[in-house]
Every structure is written in structure tokens, then in C-alpha cells.
Amino acid sequence: MIHRHVHGGTIQVDESDGLIRARGVPYGRAKRFEIAEPVGLWPGVRDATQPGAACPQRPSRLSFVTGPILDGLATSEDCLLVTVTAPVNAHKLPVMVWFHGGAYVSGSGESPKYDAGLLAREGDVVVVNVSYRLGIFGFLTPVGEENLGLRDQLLALNWVSDNIAAFGGDPDNVTAFGQSAGADSVLKLMLCDASAGLFHRAILQSGPLELNDGRDRLADAMRRAMDAALAGVPPAEATITQLLHAEAAAIQAAQGFGLLGALAFAPILGRAPLPPEEAVLDRIAQAAKNIELLIGYTKDDGAPFVAMDRRVTALGRVPALGRLVTKAGTPALTRKAFGGPAERLAQAWRDNGGQVGEYRIDWAPQGAPLGATHCIELPLLFGSPQIWSDAPMLGPQHTIDDHLARELRTRWTQFAHHGTASLPEPKLRFG
């Protein structure tokens, strides 16, 4: 048996294929709708050889893109967990901390689709997958504090700082990276005073980075919908099913808020630990001086969101027309929600003297229904072709370009080692 010692106690970990995996390790504990605290001591040896639980959630709206993300995982409100993947003989290696996407309402760092074995082995890095509270449990709660999920992420980064040396990671060389809501999370974390010194590089993949204006008004409408759905049941006493029903009602209420409603649950500026909106530019200027950035998006990032639009789904009896409308509407939405915000943040980094690289992913398998869609890079970075074989976005042959996958993993891990100095050019194209 292989053991590692962390602040909560001793854990038993897996060793295979030259890697150590510590799965489902708790970094915090929290009562419902309350701020999480560091995990306490546990007696004896804790088994860290099996995946932990995901936060309770409704089915992902992007399962028609990625396939199921939570296959085989239990769900529990006790979900403040990390999984660590490291080379067996790691010593002071760069650390990469992964924040999953899912619009802040779905997903889990414990998903087998986010297995980091290839990144860790090929790139000689230590990877930490973070799970955090989602939706009604973590971002717009019926009572008490907002931004609990963001506080969870900060607590996880503190856990990494305190414990990653036990796995051969260097706490003074940490790259935070995330996709979609995970990328937005990394940006929001950079705005928080409490994140200072906890990470030193950042990779933002396909983040909806500018969906902030009007969020207070949106939150008010969503809270009213939650209250109505709970019908007098005290939120602290409600069942998980009742809370997820209230979450669904809140998302329905958000649909009248345009693009903002597509990311209904998200961190809210001006609510701790985030600064007010008027301080954001100063915080970005400060972050640019301390954090190297790699940022980008996929050529057809907007495709699934066009396809989900009610006006497009109404064309269901004429699938060919729906596909044509999706293809026509994708470039504009990609530009508005993903490409434009990424390029503007990169320019802000440069304007403030920061080091930044940009990328775009153009690759799509033959027959891929949504092209180089949102999430298309995930099978190139994580998991295995077998694990991703149920992802509709990969087309009828479920193709993954192995050469491109190795190139992408090399670029990401070399950035963790050497920052922007490792990039062959300032603006990269893949595929």
C-alpha cells in the first residue's frame, strides 16, 4: 500500500503506469448554504483509491455534445474534493489545477472524462482536479452567502498550497486552468484578493468572460422563482430534489435576460470575495503583473448554444434546416460570447505589461455535427479515446487526432513549466 500524508491525515493512494492517483480527497467541509472550512482530521487511513461524489445536479444541457460526464459517480452535498495525479517519482514539479466547466450547474472534477493521466505522464506535471458546489448549492443560494462555489475554489487552492509537496508538486509554480465556466472561475479567482500568491499562471479555455452586467437584477428574479418553487419549505430543510426543482425554476426565470440567462448561476461581482465592478480593471492590471496568461477559444464555440435556442429547436421536424441555421448563427455567437472577450482580455494583459499567449482550436473530426465546437479540446487533453467514445461532438467515428492531442498537451504542460517563453508564437492555431 502507498500512503501520503496531508493536513487531514493519512490517505491510501493508487499507483499504476508510473503514476500516483489520490482520488476524492476532501479539502473542506461545509454545512448547506454556509462558507466551507478546511477539512478536519480523520482517524486512521482514508481510502483515496476511488472517485468521490459529485455535487447534486440536474442533467447537463451539453450531454448532446460531450456525452454523459457523471457516469459511475455518486452525488452528495459533501463534494468538496480534489483528485491528484502525479508521476511516481515527482519532485518539485509544476502543478496544474483544473476547474471543470458546466455553466456552474453541472460537472465534477471526479469525472473519468477529466482523467489527467496523460497530462501528468507526458508533461511531467502534477495535476489537481477540483470539485466545488454548483448551482443552488454554490452560486445563488436561497438564503445566506452568494459565491460559495468560488469560496470553495479558493479553499481548494489553499489546500494545494499546503499539501501538494506531499505529491511532488511545487506550490510556488501553480497553473490554474479551466474550460467554459471553469475558465470564468479562474478569471474571477484572479480578481479576488484572497487568491494572491496561490497560482502563478493561468490557462483560460472558452470562457464566457463578460457576462456580468445586469447580474444583480437577474439574481433577484431567480431568487423570487426559487422562493415560489420551494412553496414555503425552509431551504435548509428542503430535500435535494426540492432544491433542484427550485434551481430549474430559477433558470427558467433567467431566460428573459438574453445571453446573461445562458449563464444564470455564476459568481456575482460586489459580493464577497469578489470586488465591485468598478474595481475590476484595477484588479486585472494587478493580476497581469503577477500571472502569465494563455487564453483562447474554439472556432465554433457558439454552435451548441445556437442549436439549443428555442427558435432552432422549433425546427425539429426539419433537421436539415436546423443544421443550416445553427451553422449560420455560430460565428456571431462565438465572436460575442467567447472570441471577443478572450481577445479583449489578452489585450488588457498586454496593455498592463503582462505576459500573454493566445490560441484558437480549429480542429473537428470528419462528420462532427457542430464543427470545432465548445468542449472539442477536452478529449485532446483528458481521458482516453475509449472514455470519450460516447461523445456525439466527435462525429460518427468518434475520432480523436492523436498527434494534435499530444501537441496540445505539450503546449499546456510546457506553459506550466516555462510560461509564455515556451510558446512558439504569440498566437497559436490548432488543427
Domain ranges of the chain: 2-214+267-430
| Contact present, 354 and 288 (Cβ < 8 Å) | yes
At 7-54, the pLDDT tens digits run 999 999 999 999 999 999 999 999 999 999 999 999 999 999 999 999
Q: Does the structure show a pLDDT above 90 at 128?
A: yes
Q: Give pLDDT, residue 307.
A: 84
Phi-psi region for residue 303, left (φ > 0), alpha (ψ -120 to 50) or beta?
alpha
Average pLDDT over residues 192-196: 97
pLDDT digits (tens, 9 = 90+) for 310-329: 665 655 554 555 566 677 78
- Mean pLDDT score of the chain: 95
DSSP calls for 58-123: PPPTTHHHH--SSTT--B-S---EEEEEEETT--SEEEEEEE--STTTS--TT-GGG--HHHHHHH
Amino acid at site 320: A
DSSP code of residue 54: B
Q: Cα–Cα distance between 6 and 363 in angstroms, integer?
A: 41
Mean pLDDT of 76-89: 98
Strand partners, 116: none
Please give the grid coordinates belonging to residue 324. 443550416
Q: pLDDT band at 308, cuts 50/70/90?
A: confident
Instruction: Specify the residue for cell string 506550466.
Output: 416
Cα 89 to its chain centre, rounded Å, is 28
The three cell numbers locating residue 341 = 472577450
Percentage of residues in the chain with pLDDT exceeding 90? 92
Average pLDDT over residues 188-214: 97
Q: CA–CA separation, 354 vs 352, rounded Å?
A: 6
Cβ–Cβ contacts within 10 Å for residue 193, how many?
Answer: 10
Average pLDDT over residues 331-360: 97
Structure confidence at residue 220 (pLDDT)? 96
Q: Lowest mean pLDDT: which of 78-87, 223-232, 243-252, 327-336?
A: 327-336
Predicted confidence at residue 316, as pLDDT, reads 55
Q: Summarize the confidence of residues 257-261 as an average pLDDT.
A: 94
Minimal CA–CA distance to 388: which of 376, 379, 375, 397? 379
Is the sign of the CA dihedral 405, 410, 413, 415 positive or negative? negative
Amino acid at 58: R
pLDDT of residue 163: 98
Amino acid at residue number 308: M
Q: Is the pTM of this model over 0.75?
A: yes
Instruction: For 36, list phi and psi in degrees, rounded to 5.
Output: -75, 150
Residue 359 is placed in which grid cell?
Answer: 490560441
What is the domain class of 2-214+267-430 according to CATH? alpha beta
Return the pLDDT at 401.
96
**pLDDT mean over 290-309:** 94
Mean pLDDT value of segment 371-379: 98
Number of neighbours of residue 70 by Cβ within 10 angstroms = 22
For residue 64, name the pLDDT band (cuts at 50, 70, 90). Answer: very high
E strands, 2-60, are 2-6, 9-16, 19-26, 28-29, 37-38, 45-47
Give the pLDDT mean for 297-320: 76
Q: Is 420 exposed, middle or buried (0-12, 13-18, 19+ CB in 10 A)?
A: middle
Backbone angles phi, psi at 184, to 5 degrees: -60, -35
pLDDT of residue 144: 87
The string of pLDDT tens digits covering residues 131-160 is 999 999 999 999 988 899 999 999 999 999
d(CA 339, CA 207): 9
pLDDT at 318: 46
